Amino acid sequence: MPSQKGPLPSRWTLRAVQASVNWLQGYSLSGVWQFLQGSGLTLRSAQMRHWSPDPDYESKLAHLLDCMKQTAVNSQKIAFLFWDQMGFYRWPEPSRTWALVTPAPAPIARSGGGNNRQWRLIGTLNAINGQVDYLDNYIVGRKQVVQMYKRIDQRYKSYEHIFVAQDNWSIHQHPDVANALKNFPKIEPVWLPTYSPWLNPIEKLWRWLRSTVLKMHQLAEEWKELLIRVYAFLNQFRKGSQDLLQYVGLLGDGKLARAIAIP
């Protein structure tokens, strides 16, 4: 029977379980652990609840899926791209890594090379074949966005229509960008719901890049070499990749994967 001494904890630990269940309070922590294991309970990683404040979420999602389905049935003439941008720094991001057990010193993500300069990427991911295109600069603004539209228009010049799914970053709808977009009539922006990164699979490409290249790297004082490794990671997808499509959720049973599945 649960104890009535206070509110239930927000996160269940062995001590919290022990304190919250009267008849477990005489158990040691290892005894509580054995009881939980025997009851089919184990530690599991939690997930963030997906939520978007956009009042037009459902209609934007429906439009996104419809555009993807149009692409799937006519993929020789229509392209569908997911677009996003990311930034990273000279200094490495700390992460879990294999190392000696305590009391050995913990692994260190070492800084160096002067200031912690930032670099930015802007890229697209083809939802059908996994092809990645990108530009990079110390800043990504209106000029780079327009330049990326030019890159897309050239890359997909044999296509009749190009859907480009993108978030609600203000620069995407800046008047200068909107006017420039008129020069590329084949390109149609598909606006994602506000704050809905789970609908933009290229976010997972950035995660893969961070985990493979940027976390715990040893190149804080070798900036050019770090950039070379970032480019090498992205360039492996220049001609497309089924592995990338699988990783970002565009193959399989997910909602986006089902929408883009070849009939």
> Can you give the chain as a three-state secondary structure string?
CECCCCCCCCCCCHHHHHHHEHHHCCCCHHHHHHHHHHCCCCCCCCCCCCCCCCCCHHHHHHHHHHHHHHHHHCCCCEEEEEEEEEEEECCCECCCCCCCCCCCCCCCCCCCCCCCCEEEEEEEEECCCCCEEEEEECCCCHHHHHHHHHHHHHHCCCCCEEEEEECCCHHHHCHHHHHHHCCCCCEEEEECCCCCHHHCCHHHHHHHHHHHHHECCCCCCCHHHHHHHHHHHHHCCCCCCHHHHHHHCCCCCCHHHHHHCCC
Residues 192, 224 within the same domain: yes
Instruction: Report whether 230 contacts 213 (CB < 8 A).
Output: yes
Domain membership of residue 51 (yes or no) is no
Largest CA distance in the chain: 74
Residues 167, 63 within the same domain: yes
Domain membership of residue 31 (yes or no) is yes
Residues 128, 41 within the same domain: no
| Model pLDDT, residue 96 | 86
Assign 234 a pLDDT band (cuts: 50, 70, 90).
Answer: very high
Domain membership of residue 88 (yes or no) is yes
CATH code for the domain of 236: 3.30.420.10
| Model pLDDT, residue 43 | 85
* pLDDT over threshold 70, residue 3: no
Instruction: Report whether 65 contacts 259 (CB < 8 A).
Output: yes
Could you give the number of structural domains in the chain? 2
Domain membership of residue 184 (yes or no) is yes
Residues 121, 245 within the same domain: yes
| Model pLDDT, residue 179 | 96
Residues 90, 160 within the same domain: yes
Domain hosting 206: range is 57-260
Distance (Å, whole) CA 20 – CA 22: 6
Q: Which has the minimum average pLDDT: 23-37, 48-62, 103-117, 183-197? A: 103-117
Locate 259 and state its tokens: 């929408």
Residues 25, 124 within the same domain: no
Distance (Å, whole) CA 225 – CA 227: 5
Residues 117, 94 within the same domain: yes
For residues 165-174, give the mean pLDDT: 94
Residues 17, 133 within the same domain: no
Assign 11 a pLDDT band (cuts: 50, 70, 90).
Answer: confident
| Model pLDDT, residue 4 | 54
* pLDDT over threshold 70, residue 20: yes
Statement: the pTM of the whole predicted model exceeds 0.95:
no
Residues 41, 61 within the same domain: no
Domain membership of residue 32 (yes or no) is yes
pLDDT digits (tens, 9 = 90+) for 201-232: 999 999 999 999 999 999 999 999 999 999 99
Residues 200, 222 within the same domain: yes
Assign 1 a pLDDT band (cuts: 50, 70, 90).
Answer: very low
Domain membership of residue 14 (yes or no) is yes
Domain membership of residue 188 (yes or no) is yes
* pLDDT over threshold 90, residue 46: no
Q: What is the DSSP letter of 211?
A: I
Q: Which of 139, 134, 29 is nearest to 87 (CA)?
A: 139
Domain membership of residue 52 (yes or no) is no
Residues 247, 199 within the same domain: yes
Distance (Å, whole) CA 250 – CA 82: 11
Distance (Å, whole) CA 3 – CA 71: 57
Assign 161 a pLDDT band (cuts: 50, 70, 90).
Answer: very high
Query: Which amino acid is residue 107, in one-letter code?
Result: P
Residues 37, 130 within the same domain: no
